[in-house]
Structure 1
């Protein structure tokens, strides 16, 4: 009887150990997923790859799509390795992965998946139908639901080809309206563009307000623009936005970009600016700026490029 009890104890201890190990693995996978997607959204594709691989291998669909995108970008085309991850994401009904695969079977599957969602008024599904068919009617329908990416992409299309703007409408006004709607639901790409439209630039205080809103979302470009603006103007006036100089906050914001996004296309410009700014500050001011940077990081969402999910990337 004692031997039987000992065997049961050993068995249950083994089960507990396995459960603890599985829980530990799940935490590891979730941490890898979170880190990988943060780096991917930041545009740090090389750095994101090992983390995304862990999460994608565990079956996480967003990680699978993101990893395939990293591989596609790295090679400049859809390789067999990228296809493997697109297929795994597509098997979980990821429409963007189906679109990337682009073969008849995949596109037919996308056509099958989208109508039920469209019937429910899903703006993203309408945008995906546009990407599938390239019929601008679907893009307009998606924009009419106020889906942010669709509003922004429709503005892009109108800006590239003014003949697409409905007859009797002023293209500038239509583009402004689309961007304004997307900006008001905190879509950073639209906010950055809207900030530079004449409708906004003629009112410096309004322009500053939109820049600060974009930076508060921790949009990479918005943070850098805000940092640049605060660090310009030795005599007190930033020529573009009209800010008075604030070197500690400027240093903090640019430092965050330089130290968080080494693969960012404006990284070199940011690093040079930071170096010049540091030469104009004393050690105490720099120490204060680094504390400000850490506070900003702790109180804002992760830095992100906020790229479009599929269109044009």
Structure 2
């Protein structure tokens, strides 16, 4: 029996509609993923959760790990809800999720996944092996590959325990070297720390250069510090960095922080600073500042805390 032409047309129309619906769902999931990870990276964990839920349920590994991290932070421990998402991410070979789970089966799987990547010179895999074994040799190997997080973490370890510093180097020299490499790799945590090291602070122009580079990456703390420096000291130059005051630029940068990162630990103090700054400005200056803020937002990556992926959080 031959199918009726009208039936075939209806069937193909249904397939076409279904394909369009799937495409629409994929777009929605991708948008939710991007928004969720943007908020997560900003430290806006409560706000990120509904978006991450959508993307994680759709199978996105990064969203699954981030959602598990949000739940862990909210509860102060790894709950069963968090474990559910860690397990799903771990099933897609997310090593950090395997480390968070921490059971013998998960750690064994991590041990199987890492050696092939290490053999290929993967610096992140070497850092993950350090997190798995706590053998600092792996952290040093990762830093030797100039993996930015490893450079920063090794500096933290040298600062915590000076006995770990290689023979022939002072702790200060070793830390400065690691931070300088991390900063040169545009790793904001290293840049923020390096900006405050004595070898930089003694040269105000160099310090300003590093602050501006960090802010240009839209690092949350860097943007806030830059905004403060441009808005402090109405009598003259900023005493810390030596900037001449520029209230519209200061207002614009701090406005971005206050209106983007509502869960940021420095949000309250930034809000107070912004309100006080506004009292010193005309409406025309405030309008100029808001225009600058929008231009900055349009021409820079999303604001981010740039936290470490796994270590110490």
Q: TM-score range by the shorter chain?
A: over 0.9
Deviation at 1:169, TM superposition (A): 1.0
Deviation at 1:236, TM superposition (A): 2.2
Matches within 5 A, 1:229-308: 229-308=229-308
- What is the CA RMSD across the aligned residues, in angstroms? 1.1
- Please give the secondary structure, in 2, of the residue aligned with 1:291: helix
Deviation at 1:3, TM superposition (A): 8.2
Does 1:37 find its partner at 2:37?
A: yes
TM-aligned CA distance change 1:104 to 1:2, over 3 Å: closer
Question: Counterparts of 1:213 and 1:237 in 2: how far apart (Å)?
Answer: 20
Deviation at 1:302, TM superposition (A): 0.1
Matches within 5 A, 1:178-217: 178-217=178-217
| Structure 1 gaps, min length 5 | none
Question: Counterparts of 1:153 and 1:175 in 2: how far apart (Å)?
Answer: 10
TM-aligned CA distance change 1:3 to 1:101, over 3 Å: closer
- Please give the secondary structure, in 1, of the residue aligned with 2:4: helix
What is the aligned partner in structure 2 of residue 118 from structure 1? Answer: 118
Does 1:63 find its partner at 2:63?
A: yes
TM-aligned CA distance change 1:235 to 1:21, over 3 Å: same
Say how many residue pairs are matched: 313
What is the aligned partner in structure 1 of residue 97 from structure 2? Answer: 97
Spell out, residue by residue over 1:141-189, the C-alpha distance to the aligned partner (whole angstroms, 9 max, x if none).
0000000000000000000110110122111011000000000010000
Spell out, residue by residue over 1:64-115, the C-alpha distance to the aligned partner (whole angstroms, 9 max, x if none).
0000000000000000000000000000000000000000000000000000
Moved over 6 A (4+): none
Question: Counterparts of 2:106 and 2:213 in 1: how far apart (Å)?
Answer: 40
Matches within 5 A, 1:144-159: 144-159=144-159
Deviation at 1:2, TM superposition (A): 11
Question: Counterparts of 1:171 and 1:75 in 2: how far apart (Å)?
Answer: 37
Question: Counterparts of 1:42 and 1:300 in 2: how far apart (Å)?
Answer: 14
What is the aligned partner in structure 1 of residue 168 from structure 2? Answer: 168
Question: Counterparts of 1:308 and 1:47 in 2: how far apart (Å)?
Answer: 20
- Please give the secondary structure, in 2, of the residue aligned with 1:78: coil
What is the aligned partner in structure 1 of residue 72 from structure 2? Answer: 72
- Please give the secondary structure, in 1, of the residue aligned with 2:265: coil
Deviation at 1:208, TM superposition (A): 0.1
Question: Counterparts of 2:246 and 2:233 in 1: how far apart (Å)?
Answer: 10
Does 1:107 find its partner at 2:107?
A: yes
Question: Counterparts of 1:32 and 1:168 in 2: how far apart (Å)?
Answer: 51
